[in-house]
Amino acid sequence: MDSSKCQTLTASPAEPGGLPGGLGLVIAWIATVLARRVPSQNYTYGLRRATILAALVNAMLLLVAVGAITIEGIRRLSEPGEIASVTVMVVAAAGIGAMLDTCV
């Protein structure tokens, strides 16, 4: 559990660069490798549909992440905790710094 009790920091792994996004990229890469296989006697169309199944798995993974974030948000609305504001400000400043560094 995050020490700052900040929902934004809890939700950040669900961003495209976070865990589900990274796992989604791995799933897509595996599906692309499978889709490039040549057709065989058993798989006359090849495994080209693997990319469609990978998209389905990725969507389900993101829905699970959204559900977990929603449940945690509802829990925190019913039982609000103290926010470690210094930690939140430090993380926000680092994020702003990173964004300014990439934009300039």
The three-point CA angle 25-6-69 to 5° equals: 45
User: Which residue ranges in the chain fall short of pLDDT 50?
Assistant: 1-4, 6-7, 9-10, 14, 16-17
What integer pLDDT is reported at residue 3 of this predicted model? 44
pLDDT in tens, 33-48: 988 888 888 877 778 8
pTM of the model: 0.58
Domain assignment present for residue 31? The answer is yes
What integer pLDDT is reported at residue 56 of this predicted model? 92
Q: Which domain holds residue 67?
A: 7-103
- Check: CB of residue 27 under 8 Å from CB of residue 52: no
Identity of the amino acid at 99: M
What integer pLDDT is reported at residue 2 of this predicted model? 44
User: Into how many domains does the chain fold?
Assistant: 1
Domain assignment present for residue 49? The answer is yes
